[in-house]
């Protein structure tokens, strides 16, 4: 771990009793959903993490507890540091609080989070899908989402697929 990062990790650990793990000099800290806004506020205000460089999630399906990790990747341009916060959430309809009041860049990232993983963001100012059309069913980056949208047509199953293929009308 970077020497400059050590006091920061200790401070977060002390305040939120957060576990952390380290992998190839990258530090991940585990924070509960109800603590994430406070943790991000503290890191931004007291430790100069002025940039939320990524906000994404991981689906651990079929593992259910935790089913998802929501990942907040922070960068400190002033100190040349980066830090990941992982928020475990459970179930098919998980929820995390919005962090748009801390980092306004999170607005579209949280919409993408909802669009791709179906993780609801509570208190989001504009909770719509961002990439997929509004009438899409399901959330494509979940692991239980079907991989292929359509079976390829080969000689042996051409007619069968042809029957149910939704051809356009004139």
Partner 1 sequence: MGIEQKLGNMGVVTTSLETMVNWSRTNAMWPMLFGLACCAIEMMSAQSSSYDMSRFGMELMRASPRQSDLMIVAGRVSKKMGPVLRRLYDQMPEPKWVIAMGDCASCGGVFNNYAIYQGVDEVVPVDVFVAGCPPRPEALIHGVLTIHEKVKGEKFSDLAVK
Of 19-27, 40-48, 91-99, 125-133, which part binds partner 1 (CB under 8 A)?
125-133
How far is it, in rounded angstroms, from Cα 8 to Cα 45? 12
Q: Does residue 140 touch partner 1 according to CB under 8 A?
A: yes
Helices (H), 5-91: 5-16, 36-47
Question: Which run of H or of E encompasses 113?
Answer: helix 106-117
Of 17-25, 44-52, 85-93, 146-154, which part binds partner 1 (CB under 8 A)?
146-154
Of 33 and 140, the one with the shorter C-beta distance to partner 1 is 140
Of 147 and 163, the one with the shorter C-beta distance to partner 1 is 147
| Footprint on this chain of partner 1 (rule: CB under 8 A) | 131-133, 136, 140, 145, 147-150, 152-153, 165-170
């Amino acid at each position: 771990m970077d020497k400059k990062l050590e006091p920061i990790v200790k401070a977060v650990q002390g305040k939120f009793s957060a576990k952390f793990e380290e992998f190839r000099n990258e530090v991940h800290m585990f924070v509960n959903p109800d603590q994430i806004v406070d943790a991000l506020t503290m890191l931004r205000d007291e430790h100069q993490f002025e940039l939320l460089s990524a906000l994404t999630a991981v689906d651990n399906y079929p593992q259910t507890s935790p089913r998802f990790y929501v990942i907040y990747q922070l960068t400190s341009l002033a100190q040349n540091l980066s830090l990941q916060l992982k928020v475990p959430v459970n179930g098919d309809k998980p929820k995390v609080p919005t962090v748009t009041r801390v980092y306004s860049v999170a607005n579209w990232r949280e919409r993408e989070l909802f669009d791709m993983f179906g993780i609801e963001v509570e208190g989001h100012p504009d909770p719509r899908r961002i990439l997929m059309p509004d009438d899409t069913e399901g959330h494509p980056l979940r692991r239980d989402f079907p991989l292929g949208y359509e079976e390829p047509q080969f000689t042996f199953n051409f007619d069968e697929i042809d029957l149910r293929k939704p051809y356009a009308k004139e």
